[in-house]
């Protein structure tokens, strides 16, 4: 196992993130939020901000993705990278976005490749990174709704200690919370207030595909009464009266893909 070489003193980084948390509410635009975050991670770290994006409603989807609306780039992004990425991304599998939407913890692009093992046409984003001198990226999924991304000219597993990664993730979380506020005025926090269990989500996802209760029972290997119970509890949490309305409301709140 390769031991990471720290990029910068951990104490200094920790203090800067604490200061950022206390002042992020003063940032009024997405550019302000990302610029302040960039100042933290480039002081001794050489880890510039790539940008931040709100996850699309459908898993790894692209519908509705728009620069300046749901996607915000930092000015440090290599010139020309986004234009090529946007042109290539439409109609293709986006492995980085897919993994970010299914993850609750920060990960690097190098680590993602080991998990997804992209081959053939799925390697397009990897090739594009290399074309613009991006050797690796640190992706920080936040709240199931945002991902904040940093980029590096080095393989991060060799230079980014786990403690440093955790502190950067904390800073990314504060940034995402503020981005949600400045891009959706009036919202105080991320996500829906509804909290469905994994089983309730699984039941609603199957129903959204047209499955009847018997088919849900077979697919999940649960008892019929258990499936009915999960559905009834999901309907109560969502404040709806029937299964069709439950699916529609869960989709509206991005609770199921």
pLDDT digits (tens, 9 = 90+) for 47-88: 999 999 988 755 445 555 678 888 999 999 999 999 998 888
198-252 CATH, one of 3.50.50.60, 1.10.510.10, 3.40.50.720, 1.10.10.10: 1.10.10.10
pLDDT at 52: 95
Assigned token pair, 35: 């610029």
In the structure encoding, which two tokens stand for residue 37, read together?
């975050």
Parse the chain into domains and list their residue ranges. Answer: 10-183, 198-252
Q: Which two tokens stand for residue 81?
A: 């990278």
Residue 186: per-residue pLDDT: 47
Enter the tokens of residue 211: 């499955």
Strand 49-54 relative to strand 146-152, pairing: antiparallel
Distances from the Cα of 160 to the Cαs of 8, 163, 239, in angstroms? 9, 8, 45
Model pLDDT, residue 193: 62
Backbone angles phi, psi at 72, to 5 degrees: -130, 120
Give the C-alpha separation, 211 to 202, whole Å. Answer: 12
What sign does the CA torsion over 105, 86, 256, 175 have? positive
Q: What is the mean pLDDT of the chain?
A: 81
Residue 31: its H or E element: helix 30-42
Percent of the chain with pLDDT over 70: 81
For residue 112, count CB atoms less than 10 angstroms from its CB and return exposed for 0-12, middle for 13-18, buried for 19 or more: buried
Check residues 39 and 194 and name the one with the higher pLDDT: 39
Higher pLDDT, 50 or 98: 50
Assessment of whether the complete model's pTM goes beyond 0.85: no
Is it true that 10-183 and 198-252 share their CATH fold?
Answer: no
Per-residue confidence (pLDDT) for residue 149, from 0 to 100: 95
Name the superfamily (CATH) of residues 10-183.
Answer: Transcription factor LuxR-like, autoinducer-binding domain (3.30.450.80)
- Please tell me the distance from the alpha carbon of residue 88 to that of residue 247, in angstroms, as a whole number: 32
């Amino acid at each position: 196992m390769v031991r990471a070489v720290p990029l910068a003193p951990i104490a200094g980084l920790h203090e800067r993130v604490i200061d950022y948390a206390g002042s992020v509410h003063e940032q009024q635009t997405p550019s302000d939020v990302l610029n302040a975050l960039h100042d933290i991670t480039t002081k001794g770290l050489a880890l510039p901000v790539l940008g931040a994006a709100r996850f699309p409603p459908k898993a790894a989807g692209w519908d509705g993705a728009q620069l300046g609306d749901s996607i915000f780039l930092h000015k440090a992004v290599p010139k020309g990278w986004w234009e090529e990425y946007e042109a290539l991304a439409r109609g293709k599998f986006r492995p980085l976005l897919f993994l970010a939407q299914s993850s609750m913890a920060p990960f690097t692009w190098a680590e993602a490749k080991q998990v997804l093992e992209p081959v053939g046409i799925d390697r397009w984003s990897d090739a594009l990174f290399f074309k613009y001198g991006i050797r690796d990226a640190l992706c920080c999924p936040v709240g199931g709704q945002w991902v904040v991304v940093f980029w590096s000219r080095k393989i991060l597993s060799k230079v980014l200690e786990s403690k440093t990664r955790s502190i950067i993730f904390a800073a990314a979380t504060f940034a995402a919370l503020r981005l949600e506020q400045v891009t959706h005025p009036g919202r105080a926090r991320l996500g829906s207030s509804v909290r469905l269990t994994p089983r309730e989500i699984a039941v609603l996802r199957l129903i959204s595909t047209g499955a009847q209760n018997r088919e849900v029972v077979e697919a999940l290997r649960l008892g019929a009464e258990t499936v009915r119970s999960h559905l009834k509890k999901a309907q109560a949490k969502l404040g709806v009266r029937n299964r069709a309305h439950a699916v529609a409301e869960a989709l509206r709140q991005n609770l199921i893909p």
